[in-house]
Amino acid sequence: MVKEKIWFENFVSSTGEVCLAGKDSKLKPYGIGNVKTKNVYKGSDIKIENVIYVPDLRYNLISLTTLRQKGFKCVSKVDSMLIIDKHGNVVTKAFKTNNRLEIDLKPLNEYNIECNLGKITRKFHPPITNDQSNDVLELIHAELCGPVHVESLGGSKYFLIIVDDYSGMYFSFFLKSKTEVLSTFEKFKAKYENLHDKRIEFLNKEMTAYLNKFGIMHEKTIPYNAESNGKAERGIRITVERSRIALYESNLPLNFWAEAVAYSTHVSNLTPRKGKAKLPIEIWESKTSKLGYLKVFGSLAYFHVPKVKRKIFQMPGKRGIMLGFARERRGYRIYDIEQKCIIEERAVKFNESVKGCKYLNFPENLWEINTLIYNEDVNVKLKAKSVHLDSNTGSADAPLDEIISKIGRPLGSTKERSEEINQKNILEIEQDLLNRVVRRSERLKEMKNANIVEIPKDYFEARSNPNWPIWKPAMEDEIKSLDKHKIWELVDKPDNTMIVKSKWVYTIKDSKTPKFKARLVATGFNQVKNVDYLESCSPVVNIDTFRLLIPLAAKLNLAVNFFDVKTAYLHRDLEEVHMTAPPGYEMETEGKVYRLKKSIYGLPQSGRNWYFKLKSELERIGLKEIASDNCVFVMINKNEFLVLCIYVDDIALFSNDIVLANNVIRKLKTIFELKETTDGEKLLGIEVRRNENGFSLSQVEYINFLFRKI
């Protein structure tokens, strides 16, 4: 039984019922006939007679009982079934999928000449590989888009997208006519490096002569076939989509389209690319990028007016609309609502919850986003070989403030603001980047495999590891630390006593300079509860409590400190436990074992012992445990207060009085060896950074850890 009529060759209408399964499972047939199919498994044609046409079927079905009656054999295997004819030849093979046996057959009619003529489509373009180039500016893609139905504020009707193949960096330029392509090309090349363009508009005598002059190879693409210029065409599509959304969400008029394109181009350079381990701008600049300066397009802005531009009793600030980022300097592009022009200003405050369009004098422009751009379907690809230029022609290593200027801007009226102010007040306010679902596939694999050092699972793997010269000193440092804290003593092996084995655990602390660490732990899973120890439960701070304390600290402007207690478990005395010598040190202690005098990592009771040790010391210096969370302690002194939360050996301290906080920290340092984190405070794997507007939270290391597990 089949559900598509296209399968049939000789079809005769008929009526009746077809019973499948169950009392009421009946379907209506509409005819019967012969079917000719192509067996995809064998590549041969198969003719099946007396096939029933049932349009309401979910799947095409064939009866194994009928096949056997016709003389065929059905041989079942673990994940498939062979259909064998009377002569012992395999006709086809059914594969098990979702608890069903499926035969890959296609109607022969699909291979008819008429169908081929009627159904022919453009040829599929295979995915572009990520290794077309090996360095920035070695290969460049370009695409011209337009004309746009509405002129921009600067009078532009076209925009040119240039994509660096290696980094994925986008550059956008705005043109009043196609004739400006060559001059734009020359400016780009002069500022950066050799350019390799692609599009039919570039095919003129002037452009050809210019390319030949600098040894740039021009590779054309097929007309009306944008996919063959995939990266530039994709850059146009992504930029236009994001620009439409930016305009639509901001409710700004269509003549702001160039500003939306420039803004979207900049955001694209801060968005991960498929198959790339770093952001495009990070590859281009070879340094880490910050996202704290990003603001919502079209949001309300308050910008500073210099004294020379205003009278004595005039307000020092004015309303504006956030349009993007300054072209040649640090700062923002702001639309001055009063003067109806675009300025570039550093001293800006934003209210991203309010749209700036509400203060414009003209009504909201209703428009159809799908008709914004008229795109001529003419495509050409232009490819280039790398040509080394003199150093005065441009550099690929531009500072961050120049990267902001790499996006082309409309030619609208622009006023410069040059008054110096505190830069921290402007560019370090954190705002989450607009979420976008990014395809993972190759990019995750690339990120997963980037800069990963193999961590040995045990001592024997460490010995054979290429980094053994680094792991060995780390082990020696751990032994010295245990001796320093008088954790153990070497004794004769006692009779009738549980001997706990020891094991090395190797880790790499991620920071600016990776640190190799080796920790000796006890394999405490051999211990028996109520025999070798009584309790093992150890509380940690509730994640909801930590999530509450961070916004509370931002709201009340609290001082926040994060500490790590070094060798925390070693501070608590332990009931008698015996442990074998560390792997690699057995020869030095032959016939003897170590008696542990203090807790170490790996014993079930170690975490609990450490918690009660820390709790007793905190209470001794004046902190009190709160009733709702065993790992949160408070100290209140009139109007001053301090909140301290602990997660194993990590401590977070919040206080509205620095003197009170420093006093508690000083007392704790006399008891424990505290290490204050400086590269970005961390607790529960969350990196916390303070900025003027509050705190930003990130989990970069945790994300990298997940990549390694993929």
Mean pLDDT computed over 513-523: 81
Do 245 and 328 reside in the same domain of the chain? no
Contacts for 340 with CB less than 8 Å, ≥ 6 apart: none
pLDDT at residue 423 is higher than 50? no
The beta strand positions in 410-514, using DSSP E, are: 414-416, 488-492, 499-500, 502-509
Q: For tokens 């780390």, what's the residue?
A: 474
Range 433-461 average pLDDT: 53
Same domain flag for 242 and 330:
no
| Mean pLDDT of the region 30-58 | 78
pLDDT at 232: 79
Confidence of residue 265 (pLDDT cuts 50, 70, 90): very high
- Residue 515: count other Cβ atoms within 10 Å of its Cβ: 11
Cα(153)–Cα(148) distance, integer angstroms: 12
Q: What is the pLDDT of residue 21?
A: 56
What kind and span of H or E run contains 193? none
- Is 210 domain-assigned? yes
| DSSP state letters, 64-122 | HHHHHHTT-EEEE-SSEEEEE-TTS-EEEEEEEETTEEEE-EEEGGGG-HHHHHHH--P
Q: Are residues 494 and 535 in the same domain?
A: yes
Residues 342 and 334: beta-carbon distance below 8 Å: yes
Residues 464, 331 share a domain = no
For residue 373, being part of any structural domain is answered with no
Q: Supply the angle between the helices 700-709 and 441-449 in degrees, to the nearest 10.
A: 100
**Residues 20-28: what's their mean pLDDT?**
66
390 or 49, greater pLDDT: 49
Give the tokens for residue 248. Answer: 């639509």
Q: Which residue has the higher pLDDT, 602 or 266?
A: 266
- pLDDT higher than 50, residue 345: yes
| DSSP calls for 691-708 | ETTEEEEE-HHHHHHHHH
Boundary (domain end) residue, out of 337, 359, 381: 359
pLDDT at 710: 66
Q: What is the pLDDT of residue 261?
A: 95
Is 617 found in the same domain as 510?
yes
In whole numbers, what is the pLDDT of the chain averaged over residues?
Answer: 74
CA-to-CA separations, 491 to 56, 572, 576, 580, in angstroms, rounded: 82, 21, 12, 11
CATH code at position 43:
2.40.70
Average pLDDT, stretch 299-326?
88
For 616-626, letters b (16+ CB in 10 Å) and e give: ebbeeeebeee
- On whether both 186 and 236 belong to a single domain, the answer is yes
Task: For residues 213 and 77, state if they share a domain.
Answer: no
**Rounded Cα–Cα distance for residues 220 and 381 (Å):** 4
Tell whether 49 and 192 lie within a shared domain: no
Q: How many domains does the chain have?
A: 4
- Is 228's pLDDT higher than 60? no
Q: Answer for the pair 84, 65: CB distance below 8 angstroms, yes or no.
A: no
How far apart (Å, rounded) are the C-alpha atoms in residues 429 and 349? 10
Of the pLDDT bands very low, low, confident and very high (cuts 50, 70, 90), residue 184 is: confident
Whole-angstrom distance, CA of residue 343 vs CA of residue 318: 12
Tens-digit pLDDT profile for residues 459-507: 888 888 888 888 889 899 888 888 887 888 888 888 877 788 888 888 8
Instruction: Name the range with the highest mean pLDDT among 94-108, 199-213, 332-346, 429-443.
Output: 332-346
Please state, for a pLDDT cut of 90, what percent of the chain lies above it: 14
DSSP 2: B
Residue 581 lies in a domain: yes
Which band of pLDDT confidence, cut at 50, 70 and 90, is reported for residue 410?
very low
Tell me the whole-structure pTM to 2 decimals: 0.44
Phi-psi region of 384 (alpha: psi -120 to 50; beta: other; left: phi over 0): beta
Please check whether residues 554 and 655 belong to one and the same domain: yes
CB of 164 closer than 8 Å to CB of 398: no
pLDDT for 644 beyond 90:
yes
- Mean pLDDT: which of 211-215, 230-234, 315-319, 439-443 is highest? 315-319
149 and 59, same structural domain? Answer: no
**Mean pLDDT across 645-657:** 88
CA distances from 248 to 172, 253, 260, 308 (A): 20, 9, 10, 37
Q: 56, 87, 119: which is the final residue of a domain?
A: 119
Residue 390 placed within a domain:
no
The count of residues in the chain is 710
For 420, the token pair is: 């110096």
Do both 214 and 101 map to the same domain?
Answer: no
- 246 has pLDDT over 60: yes
User: Is residue 626 assigned to a domain?
Assistant: yes
Answer for the pair 168, 262: CB distance below 8 angstroms, yes or no: no
Angular region, 143: left φ>0, alpha ψ -120 to 50, beta rest: beta
Same domain? For 267 and 353 the reply is: no
Q: How much of the chain exceeds pLDDT 70, in percent?
A: 69
- The residues facing 162 across adjacent strands are 142, 171
**Residue range 291-307, pLDDT digits in tens:** 888 999 999 999 988 88
Residue 642 — pLDDT band, cuts 50, 70, 90? very high
Q: Taking the CB of residue 498, how many other CB atoms lie within 10 A of it? A: 13
The model's pLDDT over 544-597, given as tens digits with 9 standing for 90+, comes to 888 888 888 888 888 888 888 877 766 666 777 888 888 888 776 777 888 888
> Whole-angstrom Cα distance, residue 651 to residue 593?
34
Among 263, 285, 307, identify where a domain stops. 285
Residue 577: strand pairing partners: 596
Q: Does 158 reside within a domain? A: yes
User: Domain range spanning residue 173?
Assistant: 140-285
Contact 533, 607 (CB under 8 A): no
Residue 691: the pLDDT is 74
Question: Is the predicted pLDDT of residue 374 greater than 80, yes or no?
Answer: no
